[in-house]
Amino acid sequence: MPEVEALTFAEIERKLPHADDLHAMDLADLKAAFAGESQAAEKYLVFAEKAEAEGLPNVATLFRAISFAETRHARNHLRVMAGVGATADNLQTAFEGESFEIDEMYPAYVEVAKVQGDKQALKSMSWALRAEMDHKRMYAEARERVVAGGDIDAQPVSVCTVCGHTVIGDVPDKCPVCAAARSAYRTFA
């Protein structure tokens, strides 16, 4: 297959569905479809990792490609719901989502996991809660910079592949949350 240049975002943008003046039933359906596509995309990514571990690299590729297709559907549904704003607004939306998870959702789930005595559930919920606190701060700082008219500084952002711990700048020798080695981090730059 010959190599082809990917379309630019602006070229894709012109072809995509855009915000509708939606009726209530379609809005409800799009919300449900966005939730379904998002969960399918995540499941297929995990299934790809599992296929890789079982020595089935081609099945892993199929799962990864179809996961990407589901992200395209999720994006299109989100656009039609007018769920994508300017970046300053998107940072605010992200900040509010993280705040909900920190102030309401995970503290409630952590207490339930404690009282029910499900240790693995408690671990998974606690790891997520810790990471969301860092995310909230990062989004708040980024929003200030964007509202002031600029980008944030160019710095690598690294994520622990085990627990999701997120750090800007230097990667720690050991994950402060789950104690995974430095090599467990994946860096975005």
Tokens standing for 3? 């190599």
Identify which of residues 35 and 176 has a Cβ nearer to a copy of itself in the complex.
35
Q: What is the residue type of 133?
A: M
**Least Å from the CB of residue 64 to a copy of itself:** 5
**Least Å from the CB of residue 148 to a copy of itself:** 12
Rounded to whole angstroms, the Cα distance separating 121 from 102 reads 17
**Least Å from the CB of residue 103 to a copy of itself:** 14
Rounded to whole angstroms, the Cα distance separating 80 from 18 reads 5
**Least Å from the CB of residue 159 to a copy of itself:** 5
Identify which of residues 156 and 176 has a Cβ nearer to a copy of itself in the complex.
156
Rounded to whole angstroms, the Cα distance separating 168 from 106 reads 23
Identify which of residues 87 and 103 has a Cβ nearer to a copy of itself in the complex.
87
**Least Å from the CB of residue 120 to a copy of itself:** 4
Contacts of 157 (CB under 8 A, 6+ apart): 166, 167, 168, 187, 188, 189
Identify which of residues 46 and 103 has a Cβ nearer to a copy of itself in the complex.
46
Distances (CA, A) of 20 to 1, 77, 97: 37, 10, 24
Q: Give the DSSP H or E segment for 166.
A: strand 166-168
